[in-house]
Structure 1
Amino acid sequence: MNPLEFATRIRAREQVVGYWVTLDSPVATERIARIGYDYVCLDGQHGLLGYSGLLAGLTAIDAGGTSVGLVRVEANDPAPIGRALDAGATGVIVPLVDSAEQAAEAVAATRYPPAGRRSYGPMRSALRIGPKPAEADATTLVLAMIETPAGLENVEEICRTRGLDGVYVGPSDLCLAVGGAYPNDPAVAEVFEAALVRIREAAADAGVAAGIHTPDGENAAKRLAEGYTFASVSSDLVHLEQAARAHLGTVRASRPHP
């Protein structure tokens, strides 16, 4: 899938599924990008990747040939947003957006003048989407994370921000935002689910996409069936640990006990 096709699908609220990468391992990322996920997102906020890791990861995703590359940037700041896009990201997921004003700032950082404030220097991205600012603007996605009490309170206004392509739920922080003592706290399960409904309905009313991070394929399918536009599945680090633990458990279970 090429970047323009992916951006068109997201803006049309067509459902897609992606994968989450936290490790600075381009070879592994390339393999993941060959599986068939619609997108692979590199985590520049909590992941173990610096700028060189993001650049290598985006190159690996392109080499995989079937996925587009997104980046969750470290902050709602023009510098990391611009660097991720210049490195070749099709879009950015911007964390900790509390208001429509902050969402508008994120949009401005992804668009060239006169539509925004992105500085011109496309570097690697020009290889795929052309050097013309208008073409880049048409291909570039910007998604605001809803994960704080203020973000949830203002989600309807955030979704109506001009130029915003969608919102993305950070479930761990959102659980804390609605009063959970820790992520996935069952004590706030009902209010958490109500928040998820509010977010996806706010996005639908505004005509933008709603995405969510999920722990596995089963939950990704569930959220898509509920009406979310896109869902990310777990992460490479989590799956590495899970697979290693499962194999160790199999071996130990089959060994005779003394």
Structure 2
Amino acid sequence: AADAVAAVRYPPLGRRSYGPMRSALRIGPTPADAHEQTVVIAMIETAEGLDQVAAICATPGLDGIYVGPSDLRIGLGGATPNDPALDGEFEAALVTVREAAAAAGIAAGIHNPDGASAARRLAEGFTFATVASDLVHLEQAASGHLAAARAK
């Protein structure tokens, strides 16, 4: 997490080299502007990450953590990303992640397969949640258009 922060921040907060050509298209060209307008988020996807989540969250300059639920389930020993045998342990892990982030005063996010799941996780205390992925959205939109084109 400290390496990620250092890679994103300009000195003296990090080690990012100064070359604002591309970043200047979206954020200001000064290090202060870049620091204000970018975030550093670490993913929690392994048993080791979960074991170290409090230390990760306490990393100076880290803005948040993000759970990749499929990888975390596998990392905790699941045979598949949806292995029901891991449900209790996985839900307990999410509480650990949320509490560590809250204690450190940083954001806690999680990936979700749909809006209903995202709403559930936000109600549980996550501060941000993704709603599916770009590929899922693209596939759903394309399927909808194809179904409309085939309708009689």
| TM-score between both structures, scaled by the size of structure 2 | 0.90
Q: Deviations over 1:177-214 (max 9, x none)?
A: 11110111111111111111110111001110000000
- CA–CA separation in structure 2 for the residues paired with 1:174 and 1:216: 18
Q: Which residue type is aligned with residue 204 of structure 1?
A: A
Q: Which amino acid aligns with 1:164?
A: L
- Superposition RMSD on alpha carbons, in Å? 2.1
Partner secondary structure for residue 221 of structure 1: helix
Counterpart of 2:37 in structure 1 is 139
Deviations 1:127-150 (A, max 9, x none): 343221122112210000000111
Map of 1:113 onto structure 2: 11
Higher relative contact order (CA 8 A, sep 6+): 1
**Aligned residue type for 1:170:** G
For the pair 1:187 / 2:104, whether they are aligned, the reply is no
- Is 1:234–2:132 an aligned residue pair? yes
Is 1:157 paired with 2:49? no
Q: Which amino acid aligns with 1:132?
A: T
Distance in 2 (alpha carbons) for counterparts of 1:116 and 1:249: 51
The CA deviation at 1:240 is: 3.2
Task: Give the match for residue 201 of structure 1.
Answer: 99
The amino acid of 1:167's aligned partner reads I
Q: CA–CA distance in 2 between the matches of 1:157 and 1:236?
A: 31
CA distance in 2, matches of 1:250, 1:135: 46
Is 1:171 the counterpart of 2:45 in the alignment?
A: no
Q: CA deviation at 1:122?
A: 1.6
Q: Which runs of 5+ in 2 are unaligned?
A: none
- Alpha carbons of 1:172 and 1:250: their partners in 2 closer, same or farther (altered >3 Å)? same
Summarize the alignment of residues 120-135 of structure 1 with structure 2, pairs less than 5 Å apart.
120-135=18-33
Distance (Å, rounded) in 2 between the aligned partners of 1:171 and 1:145: 10
Q: Relative to total residues, which structure has the larger strand share, 1 or 2?
A: 1
SS at match of 2:65: strand
Moved over 4 A (4+): 243-252
Q: CA deviation at 1:251?
A: 9.4
Q: TM-score, normalised by structure 1?
A: 0.55
Ranges in structure 1 where 5+ consecutive residues have no aligned partner:
1-102
SS of match in other structure, 1:122: coil
Q: Which amino acid aligns with 2:22?
A: R
Question: What is the number of residues matched between the two proteins?
Answer: 152
2:103 and 2:54 map into 1 onto residues whose CA distance is 8
